[in-house]
Structure 1
Amino acid sequence: MQTTETENTGKPQGSPIADNASSSSTINATAPGQLRVIKRNGTVVPYTDDKISVAMTKAFLAVEGGTAAASRRIHETVEGLTAQISATFKRRMPSGGTIHIEEIQDQVELTLMRAGEHKVARDYVIYRAKRAEQRTPAVNVEDVNFSDFPEINVVDHNGDRHPLDIDRIKTVVAEACAGLKDVDADAILKEAMRSLYDGVSLTDLNTALVISARTLVEKEPNYTYATSRLLMDKLRAEALSFLGIAEEATQAEMETLYAKTLPAYIEKGIELDLISPDLASYDLNMLGNALIAERDLQFTYLGLQTLYDRYFLHSNDVRIELPQIFFMRVAMGLAANEENKNERAVEFYRLLSSFDYMSSTPTLFNAGTLRPQLSSCYLTTVPDDLHGIYGAMQDNAMLSKWAGGLGNDWTPVRGLGAYIKGTNGKSQGVVPFLKVANDTAVAVNQGGKRKGAVCAYLETWHMDIEEFLELRKNTGDDRRRTHDMNTANWVPDLFMKRVFEEKEWTLFSPNDVPDLHDLFGRAFEDRYEEYERQAAAGKIRVHKKVRALDLWRKMLGMLFETGHPWITFKDACNLRSPQQHAGVVHSSNLCTEITLNTKANEEIAVCNLGSINLAQHIVDGKLDEEKLAQTVKTAVRMLDNVIDINYYAVESARTSNMRHRPVGLGLMGFQDALYKMNISYSSDDAVTFADRSMEAISYHAIKASSELAKERGSYSTFDGSLWSKGILPLDSLDLLIENRGEKFIKVDKSSTHDWDTLRETVKTQGMRNSNVMAIAPTATIANITGVSQSIEPTYQNLYVKSNLSGEFTVVNPYLVHDLKERGLWDSVMVNDLKYYEGSLQKIDRIPEDLKALYSTAFEVEPRWIVEAASRRQKWIDQAQSLNLYIAGANGKKLDITYRMAWYSGLKTTYYLRALSATTTEKSTVTSGTLNAVSSGGGASQSAAAAAEPAPAAVPLACSLDDPDCEACQ
């Protein structure tokens, strides 16, 4: 809908949304808790919502007319939306603060889109674009007439007033835009100056610059780098002044200041008990001179803001770290036990700061600190006795306190109605204990940093499996619900065969069939069938027969409705485990990528994670394997070091980790790599690339661990492992096929590397680590490095990401580049992308090749995701966090997809992200969740579908971006 600036547009000249208030007086003081608005002419006025309400009402009237029925709806709608907008700002700034007029306009636009008022929002976006063009003539920084603005004094951190240093602002903005294509320093400076007022604080001065650049990101993705560099100015002032280095500094000055900052930081960090005194033993002059200041320039705004808000060490909320100091602190922490620790610290620093590889979040949090809890995941088995059950709860609490993600195997706990010999009573089953575990996770919220994160696993033959499936429902007895804990099915192959063959399935209590828990493959099948015969003969009293297909349908139904339990496959995890001689894999972890042995009261499995940035290894449109090999070699060494340095809150975790030394090297940026090679996710070429890239990572990771074994010795349980027999992950596929039967599996076994030579090397030289690879979600570290998370397809090409740091416009830079090349990128295209929720498919002027290349997650058929995962899985000795996206989801699609996952040899699956054919989904401007679970029962639905269940709640990104999210990375 085209608009003109007349009375009928809904936004007439002098729109209240543009001005917010008619007062022109400058306000320099604000009552506690009061919000204020910076207008474009530099004045500051109190925040009121009446002008927003009036402007939105006019906008609605322009689109819908003024009939009596329309007027009633408009009044009610605007009243509710206005309240939402005000609540957003008050929640964001409970103690009061300053809001720029652009932020208010952004929030109005976001609220309209969230409410599904797309026509009004589209009209409003076009209006804003026109007004912006009128306000922003082409200017040069040197030509900006600062006499047009009122005299401005800046209030520093001590409360002193100083004249605004115009020359320094010019320098900072020019530095921020240097080398960035299609970024206009003049536009940022001009808009920022309009936002300033006499008495502005140093913090608000920087905020004005940041906001001015941030609002331009959706028009040109490179503004995200400019915004990040402007934010860096604030970070430098905060850290350098606290450390006594300088009150402020430009990026150019950091070339020399970084070297001086590191020794001061180490001294201050030790004094404040923030870092380990051992860091003072390094050659700080050498390490300071190794810092590369220009690497500060590679952050996106989201990446740098995430580091600032979540990762940098702070004292009284003052951050004392800068990016390169942060990476060096982590590197020093990981090199602490190296003989040549200074040289290794520099090597580790260069890898981290290049973004070629990134350690997992716990490692980034705690390396080099007094309590270096660096591991990501812990797996436990809960025994079938009260002392053991509550001992497991205590282990959960201690591990969760130090930010560990937990996977609990609950299968040994006897089922409902089972006999209790000691009391001559009957068991209440596993569910009441799961409720306690759920509440423990809530109570011990990872040291106050984020909600405790636990996933409970139960085998499909357990007597309580049907009630287990319903744990996340919003109806029923709340005492038998676990709303805060994840759940997962641990599914044996025999059950899947019974589903395919439409046969019956028998449920048992584990105290009657104790050995089933530790059996897998053919041995499990034989013993399970023997127990079925005993039950039929009346020798086992507590059992229940069900149709396997009915139970399978309930599993899928609950997965669709509640998001849980996830579906993971016991036999694939065990038959392909290199460590099957030393124990049994009883569960996976919180994110379903770890498959390690556990033993009640003896071994808690631990995994230490890090991820290769695959996009950084695409050079000239193909994989640079020489660079990849070097990255993998250093990364494996860093991961192995974690095991010896790590702080263990529970002794059985130390025992297990030292005995087997598992690590999990994964990857992120898979989608970015495809973009760089001009390959669509939905293609055979993408499947082939998934195969070949994972093969290369696997080859070099195994080789690196074997080389470490030559240097440091093999892990203690190497003898008898598949490694010791020359059976590599690729070869273990034969064990799965042999046990399952060729009828029930189809996998590709092709390879390109010299695996024969590597097999012999591993057999004779050994392995330093029992397990080497696992693909974790990586959401937060992917944000830091500015790439797509893990192996995920693009969720949307343009959206707004909301978290405690604010709202971030995220736009696909590859798409924008291609559209610009074809002359298709303009404000209308931006609006169309918003309207169509980041999808290109309904935008007629987009060429078909770009529609294919930039298909979003729900436009990629699940078969492509599963096939690519199957190709990766053959190379991985653990598993992968695999989210499945299903558009137009129904029972048949879910059935086909999850059968295909099992048939393709996958070990685990993670979240189901489903959109039903009748469900109304509006997630362009998400608040961090898709189909959020609530008492309302899930996603909103159309009237025609009101009786159908909504798709399950799943987080869009499993990371610290959402403080309630439970991801281990």
Structure 2
Amino acid sequence: MKVETNFAPELQALSQSLLLEKYAQQGESSVAAIQARVAKALASDEHQERRFQETMRLGFVPAGRINRGAGADLAVTLLNCFVQPVADTISGHIDGQPGIFEALREAAETMRRGGGVGYDFSGIRPAGARVFGTASDASGPLSYMRVFDKMCETVNSAGNRRGAQMGVLRIDHPDIERFVDAKKLPDLAALGLDERSSELVLGLLRDQPAFAWAFRGAFATLSNFNLSVAVTDEFMRAVESDDDFDLVHSAPPSHECATKVLADGRTVYVYRTVKAKVLWEQIMTNTYDGAEPGVVFIDRINWDNNLRAVETISAVNPCGEQGLPAYGCCDLGSMHLSRFVREPFTGEAAFDYPGFRRAVAGAVEMLDRVLDVSRWPLPEQQSQARSKRRIGVGYFAMGDALAMLGLRYGSEASVAFVDRVGREMRDAAYEASVELARKFGAFPLFAAEEFLAEGTFASRLPARIKDMIREHGIRNSHLLSLAPTGTIALTFGDNASSGIEPIYALSQVRSVRQKDGSRVESTVFNAAYRAAQNALGPKVDPTAFPTVADLTVDDHLAVIAAAAPLIDAGISKTVNVPANYPFADFAGVYLRAWKAGLKGITTYRENNVLLGSVIAAGSLPAAAPPVTQSMVPQESGAYSAMERRCPSCNAMTLVKKAGCDGCDCGYSACDVS
């Protein structure tokens, strides 16, 4: 019996059109067809191919680049993002790191093959530093970032995808204030507008989202970058105690200044000394008004790193969920949590942990294979990836799954669920990686005592898993990452909530960028809400589906605090803040995040005037467009298919309402009921 897992009839119009545009190859019109291609491309034999298909049918969704490129006749990479080094020289290399314009070339090559790029620009000497070779003064990192910004705007990324970039600068870099203000929108009065004219412009920005986007792109420099400040523990302690803070660099300035020796033994020049609280308030003000820059707690990232003995991380990928070394990559995929909820919207609703663990194990195997079959934009990226074999299994539809289970996002019960899911995913992933190491060997740079040294993420694993690692090694240095998953949640999940986020709104108006740069608005409904209407009828209580508008800052922080200790890489999570949230409380969110040991934090305070939202809450009609079978796979044959649990192997399996075709394990479908 040929069974096709075809979700196409159930997807909303926008989800279906984007699925085909972003991921389908010629002749493909369904999720099932994409999954079949991906499984065949990644597998080394037919048995593994069937395992990969089952893994995706259970609920694993590889990241976008894998779905787009695996098995396709395209010269693209299967990795979503990379971190690229940039050295303090115009050309050539310093200590093996490429100079600015060589780094620009490498980034362009990476981007045109489909990969986003993150950079640490801290090595570039500050504006005003002495350039002895030409007897001139340096222009600073921001001037070169503008060159990278224009490159990103010019180079088309593979597969109908805009180029993505993350720019990082250390908090102690002498140009940090300029960096923090780099995407600050202009003061309309400073542009020569009187109060009445300013109000007219603000009204246009408020009422015309397309104009708001164009306005931001025209006036905000570095519009093709996300920006994050790499904040150190030393700086945060100085903020707490209201101390002075030195801005330093290894390159000498054009003026006389003092030097100091850092903890790592390097001698640096002290360009200026500032009040830590004043600099912190500048960061907070820009973030409060314009959502950038984000903050990454770089010391926490490095201390927690399983490979801290052999690498130092100074930058993150464009969405911030992966701190990576030079030439490191994001090899990602996410579990669709809604697919593991049994008897949703009822008093018997439960999460299928055995099925979840089985899918996680399959996901680890799939992502490990990606590293062997992917095309690589640069040989340095391939070398880095295969020496450490970093992967990132995560999840999406957390908000949907909680609603299906009757749990309010941010409640004690939801926090307990997030913790349980995280532990199950962590343990299943690490156990699966050990099993792969038994078959194929540990990653080349593996050293048990360094990997399990006090403070690393691996040192906090259960004792039995640490014993397994000591005995057999482990295939992958890192295994877990919670990415934003916006597009795969919209397409493969029919607009499920993304990543670890709550449901944004039950009805959403999405601004979709077209190939010509214009934007078209489309309305879509939340997947869990549609599923509830299908199961319970049109009179579903919307209050059973808490959205961003219903949640407090504490709700967001409670969920991320529960998830973070169980993720070895990082989490992309936005803390939504009401427009009227007091500034002092807003700044306190970041202090709380640092004290809680988070690796970073991003906030968004509603401000459509200046930002131009990609998603906005829409109005809710009496009934959302129903689905026919609530994401249950459909058979391509004479009979409809149903999902049942196999009593032999405990897998969820597709069986006919008639006939004796059964589970992959060999159990007869006649007995599966």
State the TM-score, normalized to the length of structure 1: 0.55
Whether 1:343 aligns to 2:47 is yes
Please report how far the alpha carbon of residue 614 of structure 1 lies from its aligned counterpart in structure 2 after TM superposition: 1.4
Q: State the distance in 1 between where 2:168 and 2:23 align.
A: 31
Show the counterpart of 2:572: 881
Structure with higher strand content: 2
CA contact (8 A) 2:304 2:456 kept: no
Match of 1:583 among 311, 314, 319: 311
Please report how far the alpha carbon of residue 397 of structure 1 lies from its aligned counterpart in structure 2 after TM superposition: 0.1
Distance verdict in 2 for CA 1:512–1:581, change over 3 Å: farther
Whether 1:464 aligns to 2:179 is no
Name the aligned partner's letter for residue 795 of structure 1. Y
Match of 2:110 among 389, 399, 407: 399
Show the counterpart of 2:101: 390
Q: State the distance in 2 between where 1:296 and 1:320 align.
A: 11
CA contact (8 A) 2:28 2:34 kept: no
Q: Is there any run of 5+ residues in structure 2 with no aligned partner, and where?
A: 92-98, 192-217, 254-259, 344-348, 515-519, 617-673
Q: State the distance in 1 between where 2:66 and 2:436 align.
A: 21
Q: State the distance in 2 between where 1:913 and 1:597 align.
A: 28
SS at match of 1:855: coil
Whether 1:292 aligns to 2:22 is no
Name the aligned partner's letter for residue 436 of structure 1. V
Show the counterpart of 1:492: 232
SS at match of 1:706: helix
Distance verdict in 2 for CA 1:348–1:510, change over 3 Å: same
Whether 1:669 aligns to 2:361 is no
Distance verdict in 2 for CA 1:480–1:327, change over 3 Å: closer
Please report how far the alpha carbon of residue 891 of structure 1 lies from its aligned counterpart in structure 2 after TM superposition: 1.6
CA contact (8 A) 2:448 2:473 kept: no
Q: State the distance in 2 between where 1:817 and 1:634 align.
A: 27
SS at match of 1:644: helix
SS at match of 1:458: strand
Match of 2:330 among 603, 607, 630: 607
Distance verdict in 2 for CA 1:325–1:302, change over 3 Å: same
Q: State the distance in 1 between where 2:238 and 2:264 align.
A: 12
Show the counterpart of 1:906: 598
Q: State the distance in 1 between where 2:527 and 2:116 align.
A: 33
Q: State the distance in 1 between where 2:146 and 2:456 align.
A: 40
Q: State the distance in 2 between where 1:393 and 1:325 align.
A: 37
Please report how far the alpha carbon of residue 324 of structure 1 lies from its aligned counterpart in structure 2 after TM superposition: 2.5
Please report how far the alpha carbon of residue 696 of structure 1 lies from its aligned counterpart in structure 2 after TM superposition: 0.7
Q: State the distance in 2 between where 1:722 and 1:771 align.
A: 14
CA contact (8 A) 1:580 1:721 kept: no
Show the counterpart of 1:785: 493
1:597-631 deviations in Å (ceiling 9; x for gaps): 22xxxxx1112000011121223423322111110
SS at match of 1:785: coil
CA contact (8 A) 2:8 2:29 kept: no
Show the counterpart of 2:505: 796
Show the counterpart of 1:894: 586
- For residues 853-892 of structure 1, what are the structure 2 equivalents within 5 Å? 853-887=544-578, 888-892=580-584
SS at match of 1:417: coil
Q: State the distance in 2 between where 1:493 and 1:556 align.
A: 17
Q: State the distance in 1 between where 2:5 and 2:386 align.
A: 37
SS at match of 1:306: helix
Show the counterpart of 1:362: 65
SS at match of 2:597: coil
1:793-833 deviations in Å (ceiling 9; x for gaps): 1111223334369754433465578799999939xxxxxxx
Please report how far the alpha carbon of residue 890 of structure 1 lies from its aligned counterpart in structure 2 after TM superposition: 3.5
Q: State the distance in 2 between where 1:460 and 1:295 align.
A: 47
1:248-271 deviations in Å (ceiling 9; x for gaps): xxxxxxxxxxxxxxxxxxxxxxxx
CA contact (8 A) 1:406 1:589 kept: yes
CA contact (8 A) 2:60 2:336 kept: yes
Show the counterpart of 1:473: 184
Distance verdict in 2 for CA 1:355–1:955, change over 3 Å: farther
Please report how far the alpha carbon of residue 298 of structure 1 lies from its aligned counterpart in structure 2 after TM superposition: 5.1
Show the counterpart of 1:763: 470
Show the counterpart of 1:504: 244
Give the share of equivalent positions with the same residue, in percent.
23
Q: State the distance in 1 between where 2:426 and 2:154 align.
A: 39
Please report how far the alpha carbon of residue 663 of structure 1 lies from its aligned counterpart in structure 2 after TM superposition: 0.4
Distance verdict in 2 for CA 1:392–1:311, change over 3 Å: same
Q: State the distance in 2 between where 1:869 and 1:757 align.
A: 26
CA contact (8 A) 1:576 1:729 kept: yes
Please report how far the alpha carbon of residue 447 of structure 1 lies from its aligned counterpart in structure 2 after TM superposition: 3.5
Match of 2:342 among 601, 619, 623: 619
Q: State the distance in 2 between where 1:403 and 1:616 align.
A: 29
Please report how far the alpha carbon of residue 724 of structure 1 lies from its aligned counterpart in structure 2 after TM superposition: 4.8
Name the aligned partner's letter for residue 309 of structure 1. E
Q: CA RMSD in A?
A: 2.9
SS at match of 1:447: coil
Please report how far the alpha carbon of residue 761 of structure 1 lies from its aligned counterpart in structure 2 after TM superposition: 0.3
Name the aligned partner's letter for residue 499 of structure 2. S
Please report how far the alpha carbon of residue 547 of structure 1 lies from its aligned counterpart in structure 2 after TM superposition: 0.9
Distance verdict in 2 for CA 1:362–1:678, change over 3 Å: same
Distance verdict in 2 for CA 1:528–1:582, change over 3 Å: closer
Q: State the distance in 2 between where 1:726 and 1:501 align.
A: 29
Match of 2:15 among 303, 318, 336: 303
- For residues 509-520 of structure 1, what are the structure 2 equivalents within 5 Å? 509-511=249-251
Show the counterpart of 2:135: 424
Name the aligned partner's letter for residue 858 of structure 1. A
Deviates more, 1:295-304 or 1:385-394: 295-304
Show the counterpart of 2:297: 569
Match of 1:714 among 436, 442, 448: 442
Distance verdict in 2 for CA 1:529–1:558, change over 3 Å: farther
- For residues 125-144 of structure 1, what are the structure 2 equivalents within 5 Å? none
State the TM-score, normalized to the length of structure 2: 0.78
Distance verdict in 2 for CA 1:464–1:344, change over 3 Å: same
CA contact (8 A) 1:413 1:510 kept: no
Q: Is there any run of 5+ residues in structure 1 with no aligned partner, and where?
A: 1-288, 514-524, 599-603, 733-753, 827-845, 916-929, 932-937, 940-951, 958-969
SS at match of 1:416: coil
Show the counterpart of 1:373: 77
CA contact (8 A) 2:400 2:502 kept: no
Name the aligned partner's letter for residue 494 of structure 1. E
Q: State the distance in 2 between where 1:529 and 1:348 align.
A: 46
SS at match of 1:666: strand
Structure with higher helix content: 1
Q: State the distance in 2 between where 1:689 and 1:680 align.
A: 11
Name the aligned partner's letter for residue 61 of structure 2. M
Q: State the distance in 1 between where 2:265 and 2:101 align.
A: 33
Distance verdict in 2 for CA 1:633–1:818, change over 3 Å: closer
Match of 1:331 among 34, 39, 47: 39
Flag the structure with larger Rg: 1
Distance verdict in 2 for CA 1:594–1:820, change over 3 Å: closer
1:759-788 deviations in Å (ceiling 9; x for gaps): 100121111111111110111111122221
Deviates more, 1:633-642 or 1:787-796: 787-796
Name the aligned partner's letter for residue 33 of structure 2. I
SS at match of 1:781: helix
Q: State the distance in 1 between where 2:77 and 2:264 align.
A: 44
Q: State the distance in 2 between where 1:913 and 1:368 align.
A: 38
Show the counterpart of 1:220: none
Please report how far the alpha carbon of residue 689 of structure 1 lies from its aligned counterpart in structure 2 after TM superposition: 1.2
Q: State the distance in 2 between where 1:526 and 1:693 align.
A: 45
Match of 1:634 among 362, 382, 385: 362
SS at match of 1:461: coil
